[in-house]
Chain A
């Protein structure tokens, strides 16, 4: 068989994966194991990227998301396991920011701009605006509202999927639903980061 570009690429990636796996097998500290896993995810994404088609781009995204999601859950389990409950990160405890109108204006600008952009980056920009706002104000309300918004965006996304599958002639509606769903989802996820941090200054 011929050694093509694909095989050379795979060789490099597999060597990287082997080094990472051996490191994980030798590591004994839990936190270090956890950090090494973050490293191991990268060769897995590289194997997918080696496909080199548009399909690869679409497969990297779920792969990445699954890795990040499991890390999120595992880090929380780690905190419970090690009884890490103190929250050393405080909000932006600057008196001027907490009172002035500027954070509000900047946040509104970022959210509006994010909604215009839509899609993944739009969600990121809008989320950044909300994170900044919550951090500067030391937001203390319960998370129910945000979680509900996250659930609704998920439902919108699923609805878009069914429109695509069973009513393909309404693809435009489905595309808009999916785009709005993803904006909501990314925004909510990022603003949750802001509120979790904001809780520190109680």
Chain B
């Protein structure tokens, strides 16, 4: 078990899928938990448009239903990130990552501006493409080692994981979390509502940190 990032303090057993808390995963888990609580209690920001060269400014209106929907998506995103942080199963991790991707699309897509809608659609296409290398990578993991459990992989008794499987997994996480596309993400963030859009960034950062641990196993 030396390859895991620290000795698990606690292992929760769900049949074949173990959920384990090492110092590394517990840190990330607490970070996700804290932000989810922030989203739960905070009020959304209200964007102000200032007309250049004059004194005129308008506050963008946010409807209650839109606010509630985006808060729901942000909380779901937080829960998905928490799950992805502590799960001890490769396929389960990919599922949680896919869930992070779709909740991120949901947070953005609820805004009615055509510009934001267009960005959300493009982002959704990338998230959907990313499921292919994600699930494909997990399947190659299973075929080459005969196990999906991270704890088994860390023991070092199974055959080595092929490079392709790891590359697929990382590529999938990049696509779901849009990690290198922060410039494009900034475009999506023209959507108002600060705590919710920050959840998008934080969740993609967290799943990326976790996948680094995952590919170091086996």
User: Direct contact between A and B in the complex (CB less than 8 angstroms)?
Assistant: yes
- Is A165 a contact partner of B124 (Cβ separation < 8 A)? no
Task: Give the complex CA separation of A164 and B132 in angstroms.
Answer: 30
Question: Quick check: B105 and A55 within 8 Å, CB to CB?
Answer: no
Instruction: Flag B122-160 by CB within 8 Å of A: 1 or 0 each.
Output: 001101110111011011101100000000000000000
Tell me whether A44 is interfacial, beta carbon within 8 Å.
yes
The answer to whether A77 touches B120 (Cβ under 8 A) is yes
CB under 8 Å from chain B, chain A span 24-62: 24, 30, 33-34, 37, 40-41, 43-45, 47-48, 50-51, 55-56, 59, 62
Query: Which range contains the number of A residues in contact with the other chain?
Result: 35 or more
> Does B106 belong to the interface (CB within 8 Å)?
yes
Cβ of B91 and Cβ of A33 under 8 Å apart? no
Instruction: Give bound CA distance, A50 to B91, whole Å.
Output: 15
A22 within 8 A of partner (CB): no
B80 at the interface (CB under 8 A from A): no
Contact B15 A164 (CB under 8 A): yes
A196 to chain B, nearest CB (A): 19
What string of 1s and 0s marks CB contacts (under 8 Å) between B142-183 and chain A? 110000000000000000000000000000000000000000
Interface residues of A in 55-80 (CB under 8 A from B): 55-56, 59, 62-63, 66-67, 69-71, 73-74, 77-78, 80
Question: Which chain A residues in 113-134 approach chain B with CB under 8 Å?
Answer: none
B114 close to chain A: CB less than 8 A: yes
Query: Contact at B98–A66, with CB atoms within 8 Å?
Result: yes
CB distance from A193 to the nearest CB of B (A): 20
Cβ A37 vs Cβ B128 within 8 A: yes
Q: Which of B14, B106, B121, B142 contacts A78 (CB 8 A)?
A: B121
Chain B min CB distance to A63 (Å): 5
Decide if B117 is an interface residue (CB 8 Å cutoff).
yes
Contact A24 B121 (CB under 8 A): no
A17 within 8 A of B: yes
Contact among B98, B127, B131, B143 for A6, CB-based, below 8 A: B143
Is the beta-carbon distance between A77 and B136 smaller than 8 angstroms?
no
Say yes or no: A77-B121 contact (C-beta < 8 A), given A17-B132, A66-B95, A66-B131.
yes
Task: Say whether B42 faces chain A, with CB atoms less than 8 Å apart.
Answer: no
**CB distance B91 to A59 under 8 Å?**
yes
B127 to chain A: which residues have CB within 8 Å? Answer: 70
Known: A6-B143, A47-B140, A56-B139. A77 touches B109 (CB 8 A): yes
Q: Which residues of B contact A45 (CB under 8 A)?
A: 135
Show 16 residue pairs from A and B whose CB-CB distance is below 8 angstroms, ordered by the A residue: A24-B129, A44-B131, A48-B136, A51-B139, A51-B142, A59-B142, A62-B95, A67-B131, A70-B98, A70-B101, A70-B102, A70-B124, A70-B131, A73-B105, A74-B125, A74-B128
CB within 8 Å of A: which residues of B? 14-15, 91, 95, 98, 101-102, 105-106, 109, 114, 117-118, 120-121, 124-125, 127-129, 131-133, 135-136, 138-140, 142-143
Which A residues contact B (CB, under 8 angstroms)?
Answer: 6, 10, 17, 21, 24, 30, 33-34, 37, 40-41, 43-45, 47-48, 50-51, 55-56, 59, 62-63, 66-67, 69-71, 73-74, 77-78, 80-81, 164-165
